[in-house]
Amino acid sequence: MLLLGTIAAFAQLPPQPAPALPVRPVQPAPPAPRDTANYLITVKWVDSKAGTNSLKVLTSEGSFSLDTIHSSVRINENDIPTTVSFNGSINPLGPEKAGLKVFLGRTVPYVTGTYSGGTGGGSSSYQQMRVGFDSAFTVTFGKPLVIQADQNGEVSILVKREEN
């Protein structure tokens, strides 16, 4: 009978939990290497009066900005500089296309008043006005795209992806 009581006592013991395994922190997977590249952006504008002009900017993904002197206008024997501004951002959408947001503009001097001096010579006052084009579009690498056209000319843009 003693044997039966011992078996009954073992049968009523609560189950023992399994030994705990050491906890290891989960390591995140390493980030995938970015497909980096540079982008050569060429803007060409054809003006019926001033001919053909162009500029090139090399940039990586993200924003870019260029402000430069383009030419000058003569007002009362003075050369007044005009500037060109080209800024925006490029966001690759895949190996062949990118989203492009740009502003292409320039400053244009204009006469705001004239007066004559006591010696018979005249002079003018002037101001600069900023004019331009602001837009967003999708480009295909290596394929030129006309982004503005009117009776005075047209503006085209070409983006080439440069592998590193």
Per-residue model confidence as pLDDT tens digits over 49-80: 778 889 999 999 999 999 887 776 776 777 77
Mean pLDDT of 104-119: 75
- Report pLDDT for 157: 95
Mean pLDDT of 71-92: 82
- Look up the domain containing 88 and give its range: 36-113+124-163
Q: When comparing pLDDT for 9 and 85, which is higher?
A: 85
DSSP 124: E
Q: What is the pLDDT of residues 38-49, one digit of tens each?
A: 999 999 988 877
Mean pLDDT of 26-39: 74
- Report pLDDT for 90: 96
Local structure of 9: helix, strand or coil:
helix
Mean pLDDT of 87-116: 87
Domain assignment present for 93: yes
Measured CA distances, 83 to 42, 88, 109, 121, 127 (Å): 17, 17, 10, 29, 13
Please, which pLDDT band fits residue 87 given cuts at 50, 70 and 90?
very high
52 DSSP β-pair partners: 46
Cα maximum dimension of the chain: 139
Instruction: Count how many domains the chain has.
Output: 1
- Report pLDDT for 137: 94
Domain assignment present for 118: no
